[in-house]
Every structure is written in structure tokens, then in C-alpha cells.
Amino acid sequence: MRSLRFLQLDVFCERPGGGNPLGVVIGADGWSSGRMQAFAAWTQLVETTYILPATDPRADYRLRIFTP
């Protein structure tokens, strides 16, 4: 099983703790859309993003964004 990494970042701000909190999940390759949505709801953040392997050979990665 691949390890999962979760980060909470501050975006659109000039100082830590300002702006919007953003969740970033790395390593959720096998997760269904439903599981991603459930995790996004659990974080209670404005947005939770998932960095996934690319499905297009021209891309470096794929990104999915969920809101609670």
C-alpha cells in the first residue's frame, strides 16, 4: 500500500494563518470520487485537492478539487 500524505496550506495570504486554508492530498491514487468527497467533507476546508498521476502523456500530474 502506498503511503498517503496530507498537507494544510494557507493560500491567498501574506502571512501564515491568513487567507484560505487548502487541503492537499498526495498518494490517493486508488481512491474513488466518493472517498475523496468524504475526506474533503471531513477536513471541513474550503477546498481539498488531490495530486494524482497523469493520464495524459503530455502532463506531469493530474489534479482533482473537492469542496465540502
Model confidence over 13-45: pLDDT tens digits?
888 888 889 999 999 999 999 999 999 999 999
d(CA 28, CA 55): 15
Residue type at 49? T
d(CA 65, CA 57): 21
How open is the CA angle 63-32-29, to the nearest 5 degrees?
50
Q: Which helix (H) or strand (E) holds 47?
A: strand 47-52
d(CA 34, CA 32): 5
Residue 47 annotated as catalytic? yes
Compute the mean pLDDT over every residue in the chain, rounded to the nearest whole number. 93
pLDDT score, position 1: 53
Q: Which of 9, 21, 27, 47 is catalytic?
A: 47
